[in-house]
Amino acid sequence: MTATGLRVDIDGLSLRYGSAQVLAGVDLHIAPGERLCLVGPNGAGKSSLLRCLTGLAEPSEGTVRLDGVPLAEIERSALARTISVVPSQVELPFSMPVEDVVLLGRIPHENPFTGQSDEDHRAADVAIRRVGIEKLRGRDVRQLSMGERQLVLVAMAVAQGGRLIVLDEPTVHLDLRHQVEVLQLIERLADVGLTVLAVLHDLPLAAHFFPRLAMLDEGRLVADGAPADVLSPDRIRDVYEVDPRFVPSLAWNGSP
């Protein structure tokens, strides 16, 4: 169930949609077990970077390697067993109990003909326990609060068993308490050695929960390192074009 995290090497990644240069020459290296958060204004390319990483978008230039293997050489279902993506809020068309949603995470592992094995059920049970949503068993996901639903989606990603967990804005629409709950959970999960890559728009929370931040601006990686260094007043002014006093993260002094 536990494994060492994935190593991610992104070199010279560029992505163009038509005439728009969405990413330009991004170099990013994530060690196994590291926790990294991408920050930057809207349209900076954070989500696009994630899409390139998870195989949803094909880069115009550059390479992505997972544990040294180029992404292009990894087959889709193998990729799904390697990277777990936590969706940010989904619309379920039908009522579905929590444990069945968590089991969806086992799809990359399932045999298409024989269906879910005991191991799949075990993995789901473990995921539910680790995420701490035992009390939600049997409930219809559509009836849960947004915070509870997000936890279920995290459990699904955990059940998926990837060695890299990717979270694209997992705290959108959540109130503060649930935001903190989700981020604390992610900390705990990563404790077993999984690599975590998240995108957050909330700078103070990102600075508190992630020892390393990478800031993107207009497709370029403009900063990469400890929060205190990345979220310097000058950079805030440059990239976000706001007065740095509006960003209270500096009060943290970068200490997690």
Least distance from another protein to the Cβ atom of residue 184, Å: 22
CB of 248 to another protein, least distance (A): 33
Considering the complex, what minimum distance in angstroms separates the CB of residue 100 from another protein? Answer: 6
The alpha carbon of residue 250 and the mean position of all alpha carbons in its chain are separated, in whole angstroms, by: 24
Q: Which is nearer to another protein, 126 or 180 (CB)?
A: 126
Under the binding rule (CB under 8 A), the answer on residue 126 touching another protein is yes
Binding mask 1-40 for another protein (x = CB under 8 A): ----------------------------------------
Does residue 176 bind another protein (CB under 8 A)? Answer: no
Tell the residue number behind the tokens 């109130």, with chain if given: 175
**One of 14, 16, 32, 81 touching another protein (CB under 8 A):** 81
The number of angstroms, rounded, from the C-alpha of 17 to the middle of its chain's C-alpha atoms is 23
Place of tokens 């390319």: 45
Q: Which of 6, 24, 85, 102 touches another protein by CB under 8 A?
A: 85
Position among 11, 67, 125, 218 found at the interface with another protein (CB under 8 A)? 125
Q: Would you count residue 137 as binding another protein (CB under 8 A)?
A: yes
Nearest residue (CB) to another protein, 37 versus 133: 133
Q: Which two tokens stand for residue 138?
A: 């049997």
Instruction: Kindly state whether residue 169 participates in binding another protein, applying the rule CB under 8 A.
Output: no
Q: Give the max Cα distance, the chain.
A: 59
Which stretch in 89-97, 185-193, 197-205, 247-255 sits in contact with another protein by CB under 8 A?
A: 89-97
Among 19, 68, 112, 234, binds another protein (CB under 8 A): 112
Beta bridge partners of 97: 140
- In the complex with another protein, the residue whose CB is nearer, 47 or 60, is 47
Can you give the binding site for another protein, defined by CB under 8 A?
54-56, 76-77, 79-81, 83-85, 87, 90-97, 100-101, 104-105, 107-108, 110, 112-113, 115, 122, 125-126, 128-129, 134, 137-140, 142-143, 160
